[in-house]
Chains A and B, each alone.
Chain A
Amino acid sequence: MQVKPVILSMMFFLILPLLTGCWSKVEVNDVAIVTAVGLDKTDKGKIQLSLELAVPRLLGVTNQSGGEKLEAKAGWILSAEGETILEAYRYIQQKVQRKIVFYHSKVIVIGEKLARSGVLPVLDFFERYKQSQIKSHILFAKGKAVDILEYNPVFEKLSSEIMREEAKSKKNVSVRLLQFMDMLVSPGNTPMAARVQLIPAQTDKNSGESDPGISKISSLSVRGAAVFHKDQLIGWLNETETRGAMWLKNRMKDAVTTAEVPVEKGGGRISAQVHTASTKYHTLAGTKGITITVDPYAEVSIFENTSKLDMSSPKDLEYVRTLVTEDVKARIELVCREAQLGYKKDILGFGHIIYRQHPKQWNKSYAKEWEKLFPEVPINITPHITITQVGLTNKSIELE
């Protein structure tokens, strides 16, 4: 009687392939893999969806002939307009023979125009569609998103690759879609996301952030931050301001601060690397109003010392510590001033901290008039810096 199950299972295995017909089977060379999504708003108010599709033929081993041309790019940019993302996506699908799949899209770039008119309507698609990755990096382009996608990278073969690498590095306020939406909906909070832009590769004449002109050889860079009021983009923070914001957002991971030593102390500069940093908040919300105290804690090590200060002397070291503390304080103050005096809006999410520390008062009194209150709220910044290492030498070399 032992034969029966064996025969049954053999039949099962034999018939199985015939029964299914592999209906959900998709071969890798039948799909077009989206690596980045760009979203813009057209002049007519429609959504312009741009997709960067990876072209496997131009990637990997089979393509050995390339090399001479810097423009060798393995991505193909397709765009279409539509009332909704899905509609635009359908138009694009009509242009491509292969099935467009989103599950490897790790970057969402949103153009400035769309962002200024509010991002909420376009987020739903990425939240709802099963192929989209909720952990995609969300970036905001100064200009049009499609221009960013069309950038021809030098090292990588896909522009999405650069954006992903840059967004993953700890140097900027990279935000994933999930975090972005979380910031958007939590009380008192406002989202902040990294800015992506094209900058000239060489720092020749009038270099700087604000140069909007895209030179022939430019570099794609994720730097600075986009700041929001509700879901609308209201402005940009430059790099220095972003640093300060990162201290406040408790996202400071890898940073260098440079403190200038006054001339009476011998002049020179001291650069310190931040190893670990965390920021704590103490808020008072009473009848007299709100006070916010920011306590950034950081451990730094001295990396470069061009001053005459001796790192082996406790007195000098303590002096350096105060210098670094001042520097950190200045950085944070800068961005707070920008928010309170420049934008006059809580772009940094202080409201959320108050909500978390005093939820009842927030709901009762502050939530509604926070916009009016915020510019007046006193913000004290008291950095706590510890110098843990001074490098391999104490005093810099000097000439007799």
Chain B
Amino acid sequence: MGPTLSGNFEADLAFFRESFDRSSDIVFKELLVCDGYRGIIIFIDGLVDVSLVDMHIITPLLHGRSQLELKLNEQVKHHNVQAILQKSIVSACQSKLESEMHTIVSAITNGDTILILESSSEALIFDMKGREARAVEEAASEPTIRGPREGFTEKLRTNTSLLRTRLKTNKLKMEPLTIGDVSNTDIVIVYLDGVAKTELIDEVRTRLGRIKIDAILESGYIEELIEDNTYSPFPQVLSTERPDRVAAALLEGKVSLLIDNTPFALVLPITFLGLMQSPEDYYQRYMISTATRWLRYWLAFIALTFPSLYIAVTTFHQEMVPTNLLLSIASSREAVPFPAIIEALLMEITFEGLREAGIRMPRPVGQAVSIVGALVIGQAAVQAGIVSAILVIIVSFTGIASFIFPSYSLGIAARLLRFPLMFLAGTLGLYGILLGLLVICIHLLRLRSFGVPYLSPVAPLSLNNLKDTLFRVPWRNLIHRRRGIGE
């Protein structure tokens, strides 16, 4: 328990002035309530909708005088001015009384508006937040053709409302939480009561409670701090911008974390195959979705292994290639001065570099990068005899394939693992690739996301849940899926 409001108006005011000295955006607005009661309104400019404060606090206090006087005459003696103000005068819908200094200060920093009256040991806190925020826009990182266009924004309240509109039930619980000694970031644990397992929710609460950090600037912080295995390239928590995806996950009994100041919500637990699914799978016809999923699995494999297979086959296993294909590979490699591994590494690194540059580049310059990239990779390198035409096809196909991951973070993992596989292929051939894939498999099998095996429902096998992983059976047969994950 910290210090409370003393009731001495001057002293209290001095305390707040001192707490917020050297802060240009703090506003102290003194008023005279009822000729004699001095009052002060404190808020941070920019976090508060000033017009609301004007209309609903200041105006009633100054102009509702007659009504106020009426009531004051009766009750002032009972030192209950605050309550009268709260109930009868000020027309703000969210307000509460608070006397503890520490809480009041954090309410101010949080964007609340404070009203303190002379000779009162309690402050009135109004919620009139009016921060500048981005409008609800399409989720940039997870576009769909069919499906809602709304994506989360940086504003926590908007995000919770996006979920509420999707699941209109009192079973949708949103537990608030603040993490970060300095940032005091608001976090909301969202789940469907009765659908999500209580052990899971408890586990989430404990893991979140264990976090000791000064600031949370993005959900990535939380993700890393609560995941089961930090030493893994694979994401164990899904981060998404799409409210429909979160709503679907909640219906499956998963838990979601909404974090203020980032449009990325976290969903957990998550499985490997869950990360390979796009929300659109459920909006399109099931046959098409099933086919798309298979295409995605196949291309995911390509994205991981294609360059290494090329290296292995051209440097160790020429006998495995059909004669004509080998001859055409040989003819295109004829002028290339590097061994296949160097050639492939060169191109892969160039490609990854181009991709990274394309993201970081200022928009107007981006165009130039892609033109240079297309020329460098597509033509000049082949004509100069540095790389073979076949490799360009392989690298570009791998590039296309690596964009197929519905989860960006899983895609990065595949991109990263491609390189050790290429080294293995260059040293041990197919045997090396197989070893590498085995290591990846073993790692995936060991991995767990909040107690759920990462490869479920394939390992451990659950035939019933396979309906919604390898296939997407029609909704009619999928209804019972609601029983939840990890069963």
- A positions within 8 Å CB-CB of B: 2-3, 6, 9, 13, 16-17, 20, 22, 24-29, 31, 33, 35, 54, 56-63, 101, 103-104, 106, 131
Contacts and interface: CB of A to CB of B under 8 A. Distances in A.
B332 A35 contact: no
Contacts of B323: 33, 35, 104, 106
A26 B315 contact: yes
Given A16-B424, A35-B323, A28 B318 contact: yes
Nearest to B335: A62
Given A2-B229, A2-B231, A22 B332 contact: no
B457 interface: no
A96 to B, nearest CB: 15
B439 interface: yes
Nearest to B429: A24
**Closest 8 interchain pairs by CB?**
A60-B331, A103-B319, A56-B330, A56-B331, A60-B328, A28-B330, A104-B323, A6-B231
B326 A104 contact: yes
Contacts of B454: none
A61 B389 contact: yes
B210 to A, nearest CB: 17
Contacts of A27: 314-315, 333, 339-340
A162 to B, nearest CB: 13
Interface residues of B, number: 31
B334 A22 contact: no
A20 B427 contact: yes
Nearest to A160: B323
B314 A20 contact: no
A62 B331 CA distance: 7
Interface string B324-354: 0011111111111001100000000000000
B427 A56 contact: no
B332 A101 contact: no
A22 to B, nearest CB: 6
A13 B422 CA distance: 11
Nearest to B315: A25
Nearest to B419: A13
Given A24-B429, A27-B314, A28-B330, 6 more contacts: A9-B439, A24-B316, A28-B333, A56-B330, A61-B328, A101-B318
Contacts of A6: 231
Contacts of B326: 28, 33, 104
Interface in B306-322: 314-316, 318-319
B336 A29 contact: yes
B327 to A, nearest CB: 5
B318 A57 contact: no
A63 B331 CA distance: 9
Q: Which one of A6, A35, A62, A131 has the greatest number of beta carbons of chain B within 10 Å? A: A62
Contacts of B230: 2
A106 B319 CA distance: 12
Contacts of B339: 22, 25, 27
Given A2-B229, A28-B330, A62-B331, A22 B315 contact: yes
A37 to B, nearest CB: 14
B327 A103 contact: no
Given A3-B231, A28-B314, A60 B332 contact: yes
Contacts of B327: 33, 54, 56, 59-60
A131 B318 CA distance: 11
Nearest to B336: A29
Contacts of A54: 327, 330
A28 B389 CA distance: 14
A17 B231 contact: no
A17 B426 contact: yes
Contacts of B427: 16-17, 20, 22
Contacts of A3: 231
Nearest to A102: B319
Contacts of A59: 327-328, 330-331
A367 to B, nearest CB: 40
A25 B316 contact: yes
Q: Which one of A13, A24, A29, A131 has the greatest number of beta carbons of chain B within 10 Å? A: A29
B428 interface: yes
Contact of A62 (B231, B318, B334, B439): B334
A29 B319 contact: no
B420 interface: yes
Interface in B419-474: 420, 423-424, 426-429, 439
7 contacts: A9-B439, A17-B423, A26-B316, A27-B339, A28-B330, A29-B330, A60-B332
Contacts of A104: 318-319, 323, 326
B268 to A, nearest CB: 20
Q: Which one of A17, A26, A28, A104 has the greatest number of beta carbons of chain B within 10 Å? A: A28
A102 B314 CA distance: 16
Nearest to A24: B316
A35 B322 CA distance: 12
Contacts of A13: 420, 423-424
A46 B4 CA distance: 112
A131 B330 contact: no
B315 A61 contact: no
Contacts of A16: 423-424, 427-428
A19 to B, nearest CB: 8
A103 B318 contact: yes
A148 to B, nearest CB: 18
A306 B329 CA distance: 52
A216 to B, nearest CB: 28
A314 B420 CA distance: 73
B438 to A, nearest CB: 12
Contacts of A101: 318-319
Contacts of B319: 101, 103-104, 131
Contacts of B439: 9
A234 to B, nearest CB: 33
A35 B326 CA distance: 12
A57 B331 contact: yes
A22 B342 CA distance: 13
A27 B333 CA distance: 9
Contacts of B335: 62
Nearest to A12: B439
A62 B385 CA distance: 11
A106 B231 CA distance: 50
A160 to B, nearest CB: 9
Contacts of B333: 27-29, 56
A31 B319 CA distance: 11
A58 B328 CA distance: 10
Contacts of A63: 331
Contacts of B328: 59-61
B220 to A, nearest CB: 20
B437 to A, nearest CB: 14
B331 A61 contact: yes
Contacts of B334: 29, 56-57, 62
A25 B312 CA distance: 9
A26 B428 CA distance: 12
A117 to B, nearest CB: 31
Given A6-B231, A61-B328, A104-B326, A26 B426 contact: no
A294 B401 CA distance: 58
Interface in B365-424: 389, 420, 423-424
B224 to A, nearest CB: 14
A20 B428 CA distance: 8
Contacts of A131: 319
B332 to A, nearest CB: 6
Nearest to A57: B334
A31 B318 contact: yes
A33 to B, nearest CB: 7
Contacts of A31: 318, 330
A197 to B, nearest CB: 24
Contacts of A17: 423, 426-427
A63 B423 CA distance: 32
Contacts of A57: 331, 334
